[in-house]
Amino acid sequence: MTQENARLGIVVSGSLNKGVEVKLDSSASIEDMVVGRFVTIEGQKRRFFGMITDISLGVTDPTLTVAPPDVTDPFIAEVIAGTSTFGTLHVSPSLVIGGDVSTMLEGPQPVKTIPSHFSVVRLASQRDVELVFGTEDEKRFFIGNPLDMDTKVCLNLEEFVKRSNGVFGKSGTGKTFLTRLLLIGMLQKGTAVNLVFDMHSEYGWESRDERGRKVKALKQLFSSQVAVFTLDEEGSRRRKVSTDFVVRIGFDEIEPEDIALLRQTLNLTELAVEAVYQLSRRFGKGWVEDTLKLKATEELPEGLNIHESTLQNLQRGLATIKRLPFLMPHSPNNAVKSILEYLERGTNVVLEFGRYTDITAYILVANLLTRRIHARYREAMERAVGEGTAPLRPLVITIEEAHRFLNPEVSSQTIFGTIAREMRKYNVTLLVIDQRPSGIDSEVMSQVGTKITCLLDDERDVDSVLTGVPNKGELRAVLSKLESKQQALIFGHAVPMPVVLRTREYGADYKDFLPKQAEKDIEKLWE
């Protein structure tokens, strides 16, 4: 029997809703138990697979807590350990991995019952974990290891991209690394084409880890499959990034919805947003410039009733946008068109913001581009349904600072809210990255398929991430005990059960991350 199969204890009580209590054997030290570890429970008919969600201490007689025995004596300490004083584990069984017909035919099944009294609980073996999380193959991507184990936890990326997904965590907990890992996975397995709105220019060419070492990003690993777009040509050149396209946006491309989304960032009043719609209707495409040219309310065309202060408020806001250097009266190139061309060819697009890390620029550009891409995808899908042609390849749009797009006030207006809610049907999903999930509309949050969360400590953030999860209290305990580095809790659509991971190492050796084709090419050289 290996260490992993070591017997931990026996089930003494529990319920399906709340999980089972396991009394620890005296041979198992409570200090070796870790929240988030996997265990198997051998019931009379079935084998259960679960996770330790809480650990506690018990005594048979409350007198012991008042007048503790002399545990400095090793004999007394040894005798009372596991008898008068004992440890208990709280385990939530989440899967049945053996014993009945359906698990034999279809693999692990969700639990519908609990193990009987005094069923033996053991640490899960490598094989059990592999049975649950699968092994790396064409669809599954190795994303990390369970705590204290060498087994690989693999994410089924084909399932993953069918829903919108979220990566959450406090600043500095490794969201960027995780996201990069996921993007690489999607590229490697070719399950979807990606559009990344890369606010801090970390995903395109290279970035640095916490220790300041350079790490390669997508373009360096998958040069033929990735196109780097930039808003800041100079910045990219300075960083020696070879870009494929410089994005310029014309004023004539800005629509009232884009301004509505920026209401908070630009400090606009409700009335100013109202006015935007009126103005654009009246002025048409050139409304931004026309509005900025107005000196006073008297110059307003007839029929427009806008208050002086509202106009000033709006003009101040528009002036802020106008100062963004990548905006010009009329764009010489059509960014949306070329992004779509790349995407349709199956090339992934990373849009670097360079020095425009300002949130106004980010919201404006992301929203503006996405809305048009969304329209195109919708069209294509409808045509595909009507004519029976192949639909476009699934598209995953990655956005950072997601709460700015998806907060309850704007989520109903922005295209991202729509995508999160329904675009799965049109083959477009989101990968939202956020450090403040409580800011995201709960309606959107409930539609997020797979959630990957690093450490969060704000109560509200934890609550919002765990909305709609059955055993919330237990996961909360696990989540708040994550280490601040390289650890994440994954749960939702693409994994059979919640799992705490030590994320895969990235940045030292890229061999495993290269596209499969490249490996074959290298092999061919030797033939």
* Binding-site ranges for another protein (CB under 8 A): 26, 60-61, 63-64, 67, 69, 73, 75-76, 78-80, 82-84
Q: How far apart are CA 121 and CA 129, in angstroms?
A: 15
Nearer to another protein, 34 or 76 (CB): 76
Residue with tokens 């409304």: 287
> Half-sphere exposure of 374 toward its Cβ, with a 13 Å CA cutoff?
20
Angle at which helices 415-422 and 359-387 cross, to 10°: 40
| Dihedral sign computed on CA atoms, order 351, 453, 262, 239 | negative
Measured from the CB of residue 22, what is the shortest distance to another protein in angstroms? 18
Structure-block tokens of residue 503: 């994320």
Give yes or no for a contact between 429 and 162, defined as CB atoms under 8 angstroms apart: yes
Measured from the CB of residue 73, what is the shortest distance to another protein in angstroms? 6
Nearer to another protein, 78 or 100 (CB): 78
Structure-block tokens of residue 308: 């002086």
Of the candidates 106, 99, 113, 7, the one whose C-alpha atom is nearest the C-alpha of residue 44 is 99
Nearer to another protein, 31 or 61 (CB): 61
Measured from the CB of residue 102, what is the shortest distance to another protein in angstroms? 40
Residue with tokens 């729509």: 418
Structure-block tokens of residue 264: 């908070």
Q: How far apart are CA 369 and CA 392, in angstroms?
A: 18
Could you tell me the maximum CA-CA distance found in the chain, to the nearest angstrom? 96
Measured from the CB of residue 26, what is the shortest distance to another protein in angstroms? 7
**CB-count exposure of residue 50 (10 Å: 0-12, 13-18, 19+):** buried
Give yes or no for a contact between 35 and 92, defined as CB atoms under 8 angstroms apart: no
Measured from the CB of residue 44, what is the shortest distance to another protein in angstroms? 24
Nearer to another protein, 39 or 80 (CB): 80
Measured from the CB of residue 117, what is the shortest distance to another protein in angstroms? 17
Nearer to another protein, 80 or 288 (CB): 80
Measured from the CB of residue 478, what is the shortest distance to another protein in angstroms? 32
**Residue 462 parent element (H or E):** helix 459-465
Q: How far apart are CA 475 and CA 489, in angstroms?
A: 9
Measured from the CB of residue 91, what is the shortest distance to another protein in angstroms? 23
Nearer to another protein, 85 or 447 (CB): 85
Nearer to another protein, 83 or 484 (CB): 83
Q: How far apart are CA 470 and CA 276, in angstroms?
A: 44
Measured from the CB of residue 75, what is the shortest distance to another protein in angstroms? 4
Q: How far apart are CA 348 and CA 226, in angstroms?
A: 5
